[in-house]
Amino acid sequence: MPDNLSMALFIVLALLFVGWFALGTQANIRKGDRFMRWLESGLPLVGEKTTMRWMGSSVLEMKITKAKPPLRTFDMLAIFEPRDVIFLWLLSYLQGRRDWIIFRSQLQATPAFDLDLFDPKGWTTNHLEREMQKKNWTRMQTGVPGSLVAYTSGNPSAAQPVIDLALRSNFKWARIAVHRDLPNVEVHVRMPDLKSDAARELLTQVRQVCEAARQASA
């Protein structure tokens, strides 16, 4: 009798796991489809031809190899919550993980400075402050206590326009990084409300960050 009960319990748990996996995978695929439709209005700002592929069931990668100036290349990662695996989803949700977008770009000219502007408590950025301190980068004042922090290496005045752009925005930036090595620009942002926020507005602001970095090129 105990063996039969254990087997029945195992079968029920296996069915629940498989069912959750299927539902979670479909939920991410549907959200990925909505995200791509939402993004269409803003893509002409950065390029025209986009290649797309799913990396597992939680990451959607898009690449623009012929981007518009001042960009040379432009990549996007839509990183969704791991809704297909219940244990991972619960753990990551408690750690503050939500749906995110990561933009990476190579510019047509190398920036003259390095900058990392980030949320020190963010899911993707909670380790960065220690790294900046180890590198002996200079901490800048952002004027917004308790919000984003900024570290720079190079010319602080050249980095200020990027910081000003970020602080004026209504999007939830987790990280805006400008590097002399590749990728020249990397932006992490909480995925906006796909029903109300405009993709064109988001990509306009990302492009403005790239242009500000480009204007201070080496």
pLDDT at 10: 63
pLDDT at 12: 64
Q: What percent of the chain has pLDDT over 90?
A: 46
Domain residue extents for the chain: 2-215
pLDDT at 20: 63
What is the per-residue pLDDT across 39-63, written as a single tens digit (0 to 9) for each?
Answer: 988 899 999 878 999 998 889 999 9
On whether the CB atoms of residues 28 and 84 are closer than 8 A, the answer is yes
Strand order in the sheet with 100-107: 51-55, 59-64, 71-79, 100-107, 185-190, 173-178, 114-118, 149-153, 138-140
Q: Is residue 1 predicted with pLDDT exceeding 60? A: no
Distance CA 120, CA 117 (A): 9
Between the two ends of the chain, the Cα-to-Cα distance in Å is 76
- Per 3-state DSSP, the chain is made up of helix, strand and coil in percentages (nearest 5) of 40, 25, 35
Q: Is residue 145 predicted with pLDDT exceeding 70? A: no
Task: Over range 190-218, report the average pLDDT.
Answer: 87
On whether the CB atoms of residues 105 and 185 are closer than 8 A, the answer is yes
What is the per-residue pLDDT across 94-109, written as a single tens digit (0 to 9) for each?
Answer: 777 789 999 999 999 9
Distance CA 41, CA 65 (A): 19
Ranges 69-78, 115-124, 141-150, 191-200, most confident: 69-78
Q: What are phi and psi of 77, to 5 degrees?
A: -120, 120
Question: Does residue 120 have a cis peptide bond before it, meaning omega lies within 30 degrees of 0?
Answer: no
